[in-house]
Structure 1
């Protein structure tokens, strides 16, 4: 037992740092300088090749979205180590029969690791940063991946990587009390799940780009196809990855039943908003670019998301739940046109001629900015109020996304100036007090009017 343990220790010690031992053994010899020269030559050839490919990639993604340009940066950075790795690998196998290649073997490790790291960054940015923003999850994944790659390269160089893998295969822990799995199995399961999900998301992003470029499809149909395809791809990738790991898919039936109960009890609003989103996209009652009024919000539909719809106006962007667009009355101005009616009400005293007031109201609001000449502004006599006659003047605007309050303010100012110029007064509430039994009121209780 002791001899076996000593033999294993000696064998492990001989493997430990073998790459570094070979490098130190060749240092100072003529073959060492020949390898340095070959390495510099390979990197010198790889540099112009990489610059050429980088220029082609930059020109190709010049007019692309922010997400594509962000991903292209990682791909461009991977070109130099990738070309260097290929050339050094060819030189290593070409020189191996004649001289020692310890320098080239050592150089292959960082070149391969760095190029693989940047290619992984490219994939992650294409998949995760599709919305055009550098998400915190993407930054975290890049840091974790960078740390793991450098640790793996260091372990490989010093010769400890096989021992670490062997240790992870030996350490096992039970899952469900029956089937113990090792740390290596768990890590491989995580890797398979991540790979299948990334491939599914990659294909979904590629399909989304193709669908968005199609001019023959409706905008809502594009969104529906994209989201349904992404959901199906993620579901299939998860099921496939679980099968590859060795997890029995029948155990998911319990989870599916619990999820259904949860949706029925606690997630009614969320589920309703998701279903309403697909209903809106399918029946095309509201489409991208429509001018709508829902509740107290008026603006242009800029996005139709799965849970909510973004309505943009002069005050900013409002997130309207999709359920509200289905269950409540929505005024879609784009069905018959893009014009929106803006009206204000004002009172004039009974001494003013109603026909004159109506004509002045129609005339004073015609030259207000944003007010359309067709249809022409209209004024109406609404009611005979307690203090005066109530009128309403209405105009039409074509840009409700910029807000209606500015137009209403301009209309009120124009009405005020016009009434002042023509001597028309705006009455204020008046009350008349009559004392029926004046004899019972003490003297001095009622002050004489000024």
Structure 2
């Protein structure tokens, strides 16, 4: 009968229940668990501390802070096993090592997956389900390893051969290839997420350059992961030349718009003509830029509607940027007052109305002009400046118009409505008499 970890543990427990060696193993395991928890918490606090001198260390180690407790515990158990195996059996510690190691692997996988797919938000149902499936598979693998069935499973997978063209590939090779590809891609995505997070914290670098560097870094890491995984699988990279030719033909025929949007995205980010937070107008869409991706840019309008604009439109069309070099924006409104009004008083009232609104800047100050002599009265224009166009223009325009109307009403300034005089010429006497009587009746009413 083949000896396994589980059978060795059962035999050891059965034969050594009265042996002090078993108590030594239990004591060592308990001490390793307690010390591992304490040391892991201490190291995690040190690595996540905001200490300028530890930035280099934190760059590579802080990401593993959530798995420090099981990792430290695993190291302590391994050391205890090396010390005790010289004088007695250590089957209990041998079983504890894969259990603690699997727990560390599960926590590390959960952390990496949430770092990639659930940054800045809650994990989706698919991610939660995948994490449960992954944890189940890991625990099943540990159970197979402890019971000694892991070697039998590998031998069975190696014996099952599937025909692939003129070659035959075993299930074990296929599983190893899929696992290598999955691991390298996850590592590349995790590295890209960490790189993007680090770059976005560098306030000394322009936001567009940070976005370009983050996206280029992620693309390079994914490309390297694909090449490395293909090499691990055993695929000759020279066959990619055929795929490259087909891809070039596809780009030339049907993917011109997509490639143009990607290239335009990098151009926009590099030339820094648009940044996140700018208020722009593209075609018939206006809003604040909330995202600049390699293929599209997202505009959030004042009504909350988000518009996805291909980056190609940002280069081929005209873009009005209200905050490119200066965030100060001028707004204006017009009002017509009666000819009997005091022009100087009306201009002063308009300026006072604009100055009473909180969002209106005092420097430069609001200004008012007499624009023209309209058919119904003096046409006035009131202009003012704001420094926060991202907060919307309609609301401040409404506030200024309300203040203007209030001032004009308080000083009895008439805002005339269009009036027209109608004259009827060369009418028959009977018709003219009926019209005159009707007009007199209307005036009487």
Q: TM tier, shorter chain? A: 0.7 to 0.9
- Whole-Å separation in 2 of the counterparts to 1:248 and 1:367: 73
Q: Could you tell which deviates more after superposition, 190-199 or 130-139?
A: 130-139
Contact kept? 1:47, 1:80, Cα under 8 Å:
no
Contact kept? 1:339, 1:397, Cα under 8 Å:
yes
Contact kept? 2:368, 2:382, Cα under 8 Å:
yes
Alignment partner of 1:281 is 2:272: no
Aligned residue for 1:53?
A: 40
Alignment partner of 1:116 is 2:105: yes
Contact kept? 1:313, 1:401, Cα under 8 Å:
no
- Whole-Å separation in 2 of the counterparts to 1:263 and 1:137: 33
- Whole-Å separation in 1 of the counterparts to 2:127 and 2:360: 48
> Residue by residue, what CA displacement relative to the aligned partner does 1:263-285 show, whole Å, maximum 9, x if unpaired?
45554443333222111112222
Alignment match of 1:270 (pick from 255, 258, 262): 258
Aligned residue for 2:347?
A: 358
Alignment partner of 1:180 is 2:168: yes
Aligned residue for 1:142?
A: 131
How far is 1:380 from its partner? 2.7
> Residue by residue, what CA displacement relative to the aligned partner does 1:383-427 show, whole Å, maximum 9, x if unpaired?
444444432211001111111222111111122122222322222
- Whole-Å separation in 2 of the counterparts to 1:261 and 1:173: 33
- Whole-Å separation in 2 of the counterparts to 1:389 and 1:264: 61
Aligned residue for 1:89?
A: 78
Contact kept? 2:211, 2:269, Cα under 8 Å:
yes
Alignment partner of 1:43 is 2:43: no
Q: How does 1:390-429 map to 2 (within 5 A)?
A: 390-429=379-418
Distance 1:428 1:59, change over 3 A: farther
Distance 1:354 1:398, change over 3 A: same
- Whole-Å separation in 1 of the counterparts to 2:259 and 2:286: 26
- Whole-Å separation in 1 of the counterparts to 2:178 and 2:360: 61
- Whole-Å separation in 1 of the counterparts to 2:377 and 2:181: 75
SS in 2 for 1:174: strand
Alignment partner of 1:430 is 2:419: yes
> Residue by residue, what CA displacement relative to the aligned partner does 1:285-325 show, whole Å, maximum 9, x if unpaired?
22345454545666654543223334567655845523333
How far is 1:149 from its partner? 0.5
> Residue by residue, what CA displacement relative to the aligned partner does 1:21-50 show, whole Å, maximum 9, x if unpaired?
333333343357632542333332441343
The TM-score with structure 1 as length reference comes to 0.81
How far is 1:151 from its partner? 1.0
The TM-score with structure 2 as length reference comes to 0.82
How far is 1:89 from its partner? 3.2
SS in 2 for 1:438: coil
Contact kept? 1:74, 1:118, Cα under 8 Å:
no
Distance 1:336 1:27, change over 3 A: closer
Aligned residue for 1:447?
A: 438
How far is 1:431 from its partner? 3.8
Contact kept? 1:313, 1:400, Cα under 8 Å:
no
- Whole-Å separation in 2 of the counterparts to 1:355 and 1:79: 76
Aligned residue for 2:180?
A: 192
Aligned residue for 1:27?
A: 13
Contact kept? 2:280, 2:287, Cα under 8 Å:
yes
How far is 1:246 from its partner? 1.7
Structure 2 runs not aligned, ≥5 long: 52-57
CA RMSD in angstroms comes to 3.5
Aligned residue for 2:218?
A: 230
Contact kept? 1:308, 1:319, Cα under 8 Å:
no
Q: Could you tell which deviates more after superposition, 331-340 or 414-423?
A: 331-340
Contact kept? 1:57, 1:72, Cα under 8 Å:
no
Contact kept? 1:310, 1:317, Cα under 8 Å:
no
How far is 1:143 from its partner? 2.3
Contact kept? 1:35, 1:104, Cα under 8 Å:
no
Distance 1:306 1:114, change over 3 A: same
Contact kept? 1:299, 1:400, Cα under 8 Å:
no
SS in 1 for 2:385: strand
